[in-house]
Structure 1
């Protein structure tokens, strides 16, 4: 049975000592699932491409110029999202992940909403993101939150690029 405690959205790293590892486990789950969905499943983190292993091994360094938002149930991270620094008035949302045991509780929506508030406070006029086309639930979520499909800025096949004004 999933923990029913309230979930709080916080900026990481924060002050909670038990969330020191922050998003590492969530990022590992995100990347392992993504590799499997792309038909390139690997047995564990060691099989992931270097660029993803770096994020998992040291999220603080990997996202030093970005903001990491965590959803915490107590002191346990149950969701994460990265907001990149604003460049030319645009921020990007990436690595949105919610622990499967905590899905259906509005955590992803809360993380995206917090990212929009953060982006606007930092002077961004647009928030953009890319999502794999087979993640229909995620695309539906982003559309409900006001994102629209836009011309792709990424050359990878099967990515849907979306953006929203803040």
Structure 2
């Protein structure tokens, strides 16, 4: 029998002090997988590019101006999403990651919906994101949630840029 408990979405750091590690392990998994998918596999966090390593080692500092949402199953972080501070009425979603063993349970969509609600409550008019074109499940999720492909603001090859009016 599989564990079917629902994940609860919270803002980190938040009132739940039992989630000491916050998003660090999730960010490590995200960056290690992304580097592997780009053909630059590294075995450990120490091998990540400095900016990504900094996010893993000190997410509170790396995302000090952002809102970090966590999906919790009991006191374990099983998903994360970063919402950047608004600039010119726009915020960006970054680092959406769900524990692979728990995918298909609505955790990622719950995180994105919570991010959109947060943006609406804070006067953001447009939410944008970028996703690698090979992440077809993520692209499908974003499209289901109302994001549309838009002209790229990023020069990296194979990156799809998307927006959602709030």
Specify if TM > 0.5. Answer: yes
Matching of residues 36-47 of structure 1 within 5 Å? 36-47=36-47
Report if the CA contact (8 A) 1:2-1:101 is conserved. no
Question: Who is 1:90 aligned against?
Answer: 90
* TM-superposed deviation, 1:107: 0.3
SS at match of 1:19: coil
SS at match of 1:46: helix
Give, in whole Å, the separation in 2 of the partners of 1:134 and 1:2: 29
The answer as to 2:55 corresponding to 1:55 is yes
Unaligned runs of 5+ in 1: none
TM-score, scaled relative to structure 1? 0.98
Give, in whole Å, the separation in 2 of the partners of 1:137 and 1:2: 22
Give, in whole Å, the separation in 2 of the partners of 1:47 and 1:146: 36
Give, in whole Å, the separation in 1 of the partners of 2:54 and 2:4: 32
Q: Once the two structures are superposed, what CA deviation does each residue of 1:7-47 show, in whole Å capped at 9, x if it has no partner?
A: 10000001222212100000000000000000100011000
- The alignment's C-alpha RMSD in Å is 0.9
Question: Who is 2:12 aligned against?
Answer: 12
Give, in whole Å, the separation in 1 of the partners of 2:71 and 2:29: 15
* TM-superposed deviation, 1:2: 5.1
Question: Who is 1:70 aligned against?
Answer: 70
Give, in whole Å, the separation in 2 of the partners of 1:103 and 1:133: 19
